[in-house]
Structure 1
Amino acid sequence: MKPIDYLNLHKLQIEIGKIGEAYVYELECKKLKGTPYINKVDDGIARNPANGYDILSFTRDGKPLHIEVKATSGSEDVFYLSKNEYQTAEKMKEQGLDYVVYFVKKVLSDNPDLIRIKDVTANKGYLFEEVGWKVTKN
């Protein structure tokens, strides 16, 4: 068996994420074509993970839309939210803001699948499972 090259795997995962973000950015610009909001779509937010979402977009009538993009090259129905992303979704919900996960499956294909998930933290169609632990020396 060949050992897993975790560094290259991580680089590939980052690249898939960037492709997903670019795909969603393009879709949002197409959606907003002909509105004054098309030039306000901001994908630069993704450069700072502390923001808790990747793209600031808008509805066609100008309501801010905070988008967290999750992408996979496969067709599985699994993605991961960071603690910060989860907390950001909860905080925005409390403030009456729209936080939506755009889950892009088969992102490397000619016809990716896009699933828009509103209110992800309370959406009954998804299960949450804690999968990570922070370990600190005493």
Structure 2
Amino acid sequence: MLKDLRRYEHFGTPNFYSTLLKFISKHKNPITKEVVNKYFYGKTIDGRRGFRGAVEFAIKINVLVEDKGFISVDKGFYSSYVSSENLESFILTNFFLKINNSDYYSEIFNPDNFSFTHDSRKLIMKNTVFKFKYSNVKYFLLDFGFLTCDEENESRFYNVESKYLILLNVSILPEISKKKRRISVSEFEKSMEDRNKYGHEAELFVYNFECARLFNLKKPDWTSSHTVNKGYDITSYNFVGDLRFNRFIEVKSFYGDKPYFYLSENEYKTAGEIGKKYWLYLVNRKYIDQQGYEPIIIQDPYANIFSNPNWKMTEEKTYKFSQA
């Protein structure tokens, strides 16, 4: 994917994508790529000019759909995208989902290209990994806030924004720690606990599970990747024909033969408020890699678990439930 786009200097900025989506959405019928490129010809947005590469990139990461020379906004993306406030998160999520299993991912997002700082515990990324052939990727990650400039080592490293760590393959984080030894094992385990190491793996599993359940005709919203206080992780649909999100999924990871999970006060309260639209997906790490594995799915846990004698609550504030 990235190889085809190397000739372009950049992939657009958040303001470009906001303008692009508004321009295409105001047309009732699909329009040609030439019409879009003509609209942006000569325009300057955020100091950038020449947006042909950005249009091609939008098609590659499934923000736009191209069919017989006509382009439109991807239905799944359009149903998830709400406003420019969360546009950056959605664009980044689409990008990482697209390249996650590609050779480019392993080349750019290789553990050798990252390290943890000793004092601030930030994850930093080498500037040299991008070189010339991936300079447009670097500008994209900077423009959308995945990377920020390191004040002390601006020419050598970039900081990885902590809220976007969830987009990285969770398997590379332990490798970074083992290689650099910038922090102790106990410190690393604590930092991984704080970032919900297993939670990311479980959420990615459920996201893909929901896509498959909906026959890839509807696209769920990975809510926790851009908003942290909703009280649920993924927003989805009960049926393919549903026009609006109506399944609000909280994902929990556990390991062993008996399911258990922790709930924050916010999650507990949200479950009570949403009721039957709130779903709990329990993912067993013991079986997550087995083909055909399905999570434990519980609708309306406020009614079906919280007062159920087969489940017991053993802690306050953050509630732990385990099967009796």
Whether TM exceeds 0.5 here: the answer is: yes
* 1:131 positional shift: 3.4
Which residue of structure 1 aligns with residue 215 of structure 2? Answer: 33
Residues of 2 paired with 1:109 and 1:102: CA distance? 13
Q: Secondary structure at the match of 1:80?
A: strand
Describe the shift of the 1:103–1:6 C-alpha distance in structure 2 as closer, same or farther (beyond 3 A): farther
Describe the shift of the 1:46–1:108 C-alpha distance in structure 2 as closer, same or farther (beyond 3 A): farther
Which of 264, 269, 272 does residue 90 from structure 1 map onto?
272
Which residue of structure 2 aligns with residue 131 of structure 1? Answer: 316
Q: Counterpart of 1:126 in structure 2: which amino acid?
A: W
Which residue of structure 2 aligns with residue 5 of structure 1? Answer: 186
Which residue of structure 1 aligns with residue 298 of structure 2? Answer: 117
Which residue of structure 1 aligns with residue 237 of structure 2? Answer: 58
Describe the shift of the 1:126–1:113 C-alpha distance in structure 2 as closer, same or farther (beyond 3 A): farther
Residues of 2 paired with 1:132 and 1:19: CA distance? 25
* 1:89 positional shift: 0.6
Residues of 1 paired with 2:187 and 2:258: CA distance? 21
* 1:81 positional shift: 0.7
**What is the count of residue pairs matched by the alignment?**
124
Give TM-score, length-normalised by structure 1.
0.75
Which of 224, 228, 235 does residue 46 from structure 1 map onto?
224
* 1:119 positional shift: 1.6
Unaligned 5+ residue runs, structure 2?
1-184, 319-324
Describe the shift of the 1:58–1:80 C-alpha distance in structure 2 as closer, same or farther (beyond 3 A): same
* 1:128 positional shift: 2.5
Please state if 1:100 is matched with 2:279: yes
Residues of 2 paired with 1:88 and 1:72: CA distance? 21
Residues of 2 paired with 1:120 and 1:10: CA distance? 29
Residues of 2 paired with 1:114 and 1:88: CA distance? 21
Q: Deviations over 1:22-53 (max 9, x none)?
A: 00000100111264xx13x100x113221000
Q: Is the 8 A contact 1:75 1:106 kept in 2?
A: no
Which residue of structure 2 aligns with residue 136 of structure 1? Answer: none
Give TM-score, length-normalised by structure 2.
0.34
* 1:103 positional shift: 0.4
Which residue of structure 2 aligns with residue 15 of structure 1? Answer: 197
Residues of 1 paired with 2:289 and 2:228: CA distance? 28
**Structure of greater relative contact order (alpha carbons < 8 Å, 6+ residues apart):** 1
Q: Is the 8 A contact 2:264 2:317 kept in 1?
A: no
Describe the shift of the 1:113–1:72 C-alpha distance in structure 2 as closer, same or farther (beyond 3 A): farther
Residues of 2 paired with 1:107 and 1:42: CA distance? 26
More helix by share: 2
Q: Which deviates the most, 48-57 or 102-111?
A: 102-111
Residues of 2 paired with 1:98 and 1:6: CA distance? 38
Residues of 2 paired with 1:7 and 1:121: CA distance? 34
Considering only aligned residues, what root-mean-square deviation do their CA atoms show, in Å?
A: 2.7
* 1:108 positional shift: 6.7
